[in-house]
Amino acid sequence: MTSVPPDDEIAELVRKIQEGKDREESARRLFAIFSPSLIRFFTRFRFSHDESRDLTQDVLFRVFKSIAEFRHDSRFESWLFEIATNIYRNEIRRRRTGKRDGQEIPLETAPDSEHPSGQTLELPSPEPDALASLGERERQKILRTAIAKMPPQMRLCCEMRYVRGLKYQEIATLMKISIDTVKAHLHQARKRLMAELGNRPGGVG
């Protein structure tokens, strides 16, 4: 288990490497701190564990090779993130253009987003009859219109939760707001949508 080091320790390790002091030990420590998080970073994108480990090696190799360019004017993690993102995007581009000998790349299945009530929003798709399908389309149109009319933050919370299936914590992180604010927005959004459907023919029964 790796303990979480303070930010100034990271900056100090980077400085030592840049100045050539305890270079190997500082590099080893920096590698130990960030390689598990980077492996996790890549597995989020459904790369296999082995692929994520290889990509992590590429990221940290590039980090060490170009560490002189880091100017300490932002967090080291941001700079690391930029390199990791570039390597991720290059890898995706490389796979899309089929430069890896036309080889199929197996991707592991990531865990599904959990629903607060323990259910998932993915439901079995029944084959509705034509009339029911018409009613469904009408209700979805009402929902889309109602979501589009919400205030920006509420609308984004609603889209991230219901359209994208993100967790409360993930929405809070992305929107830089508290979980309680996310829950409040979604509560209000549900009330609005229920009211909107209730005011239309074929809506709330």
Partner 1 sequence: MINDEKDLEDLLGRLAREDDGLQAPDAHPPASKLAAYREDRLTPEEEQEIQEHLGACRECSDLLLGLEGLYERPAETGVADFETASGWRKMRARLDADAWFEAGETPVARRRSKAWRHPSITLFAAVLLAVIGFSLYTLFSPGATVQTLETVNSHRGGGEEAVEVVRLPITLLLKSPVREPLPEYRAEILDPSDRSVRKVSGLKENASFEIELPLRRWSLRPGKYHVELLGLREGRFVPVGEYAFRIAGN
Alpha-carbon distance of 15 to 155, in angstroms, equals: 44
CA dihedral 57, 60, 63, 65 (to 10 degrees): -50
Give the one residue of 95, 139, 183, 188 binding partner 1; rule: CB under 8 A.
139
DSSP of 75-132, one letter per residue? -HHHHHHHHHHHHHHHHHHHHHTTTTTTPPPP-PPPPPPPPTTS--S--------HHH
In this chain, which of 11, 48, 165, 188 binds partner 1, going by CB under 8 A? 165
86 sits near partner 1 (criterion: CB under 8 A): yes
Min dist. Cβ of residue 40 to partner 1 (A) = 5
Among 106, 111, 118, 152, binds partner 1 (CB under 8 A): 152
Decide whether 93 or 99 has the Cβ nearer to partner 1.
Answer: 93
Per-residue binding letters, 90-119, with partner 1 (x by CB under 8 A): ------------------------------
Spacing of C-alpha 179 from chain mean position: 16
Rounded to a whole number of angstroms, the minimum distance from the CB of residue 95 to partner 1 is: 14
